[in-house]
Homo-oligomer: A and B are copies of this chain.
Amino acid sequence: MPSPTATKHSKRDEIVEIASLLFYRQGYGATGIKQIIEQAGIAKGTFYTHFKSKEDLGVEWLKSRHIQWNTWLNDSLKPAEASGAKVLAAFTFLASWLKESNYRGCAFLNTMAETPDASSPMRREVVEHKRQLHQTFQSLMADHFKNEDVSEEFVIQKAGAAFLLFEGALVETQNFEDPLPITVALKEVQSMLQFKNHKS
């Protein structure tokens, strides 16, 4: 007998789900409340019983997207056993994700682009998301190099570089609608991971 909360699919969640698709595909600014409520089959007023503003929904979108995307990423890293392999798996994930998303890119970076005010609620979600992603690279790198004779600085540098290559590959794959940049980034990270041998 399944718990009643297991299939909890409230109207609020439903709206977020529908809006997520539209915000991601068309952009936050280009998506109107009208389109959202039409697809959700609800009245204008109903929307505002669930969200106090469009921006409120925007924040919810990014919060749920954060969880969803992290799940996707972590699921992709799981098969890889070594931390180094996990780092590389992140780039493989990047390629398959962007292809599946029709090269629409990163919801967070796209939102940043149309949100100049860095202190706005939605931008805060962007900053936090990327901070955590950066942190993920740092953890993996630290683990990868943990038995090597390398400085902490070195690890931080390589983690940062991997993160930037990831982000760079992300935006340029989106731009060119071609995963070639990911291949380049992957190769670069591969050589970074092997760098420990040169030290010995």
Give me the interface of A with B, judged by CB distance under 8 Å. 25-27, 29-30, 103-105, 109-114, 116, 118, 126-127, 130-131, 134, 157, 160-161, 163-169, 171-172, 174-177, 181, 184-185, 187-188, 198
Contact = CB atoms under 8 A, between A and B. Distances in A.
Contacts of A167: 167-168, 171-172
B164 A185 contact: yes
A134 B118 CA distance: 28
A130 B175 contact: yes
Copies of this protein, total: 4
A154 to B, nearest CB: 10
B161 A116 contact: no
The 9 lowest CB-CB distance pairs between A and B, nearest first, are: A164-B168, A113-B113, A168-B168, A160-B184, A167-B168, A110-B113, A161-B188, A27-B114, A29-B29
A38 to B, nearest CB: 12
Contact of A168 (B103, B104, B166, B177): B166
Given A25-B116, A113-B105, A127 B176 contact: yes
Given A104-B116, A114-B114, A164 B169 contact: yes
Contacts of A103: 118
